Structure 1
Amino acid sequence: MATLQEQRRAIAEGMRRSRAATGEAQRNATGNSIIEQRTGRAVADDINRLTKPPQQRRTLRPVEPVGSLPPSRGRGVYKPPAAGGTAGIASPLTEEAATRAYYPNRLIASTDGAVFFSVRAVKTLTMRDANDAEVVLELTDAIA
């Protein structure tokens, strides 16, 4: 039979052997957890597990390119412009002498009523355009 001292040595040796295998595994697990904390990989994975995955965007259908129309032959009927210059007034306009007509004179009071003055507004104005056609301007009585 072994002595008490030999029994204690055997027990200590057995404990050392059993601890050696688990100690290395614990050190590796601790190192891996520290690396995950530093890189944030575990936190990102946890957050991604909690959120809904983003929906895939659907692409639009392609639109056919729009360009100019291909050249084609015209289908209109040509009408030459009417002779005689009835299309409008040709610039410049020149006033004919002594052709103005006026509305009747009106007495207008100042804002405070202390002064009155006479105003004569133009009624019609006769002018000639570049084609020597008569142009009559009829104006409204703005004072009335």
Structure 2
Amino acid sequence: MATLQEQRQAIASGMAARRAPTGEAERKATGQRIIEERTGKSVVDDLNKLTQPVRQRRPLKTIQSVGAIPATTSRSSYKEPAATTGGIASPLTEKTKVAAGKTVPDNELWPAGYPSSDGLFVLPAFKTQRFTDANGAEVVLEFANPAWVAV
């Protein structure tokens, strides 16, 4: 009777003898085919053969840069701006008045004020504000009544 080692060697030599006629290239091709079937590559290739190929976009032609525009000189005549009598000269200075022995800004507030969006409180809303411009002229800003705002 043959030993276990001898039996194993006989099995290994039998397997090698059976594989020899198939050849290494055939085994590799079979392995590659199995991988392609698993990943679906052959199916994708077959479907791509049935469809129209997507048209490749061609890049735009390159245009050589022409460089910076050369410096030039020019002349013009200066026209002094027309003197106007209207408009407000900056800066504005807020006017003040004395009320109850204190100096306070000269403005009026709307009695209803400006209600907050949640209706919990009412902010003061200006009705008019008075200023003096840089030329000493009086400037009065009049604001709309914010009472239309729904609470």
Q: Same fold (TM over 0.5)?
A: no
User: Which bracket does the TM-score occupy, shorter chain normalised?
Assistant: 0.3 to 0.5
Normalised TM-score (structure 2): 0.40
Normalised TM-score (structure 1): 0.41
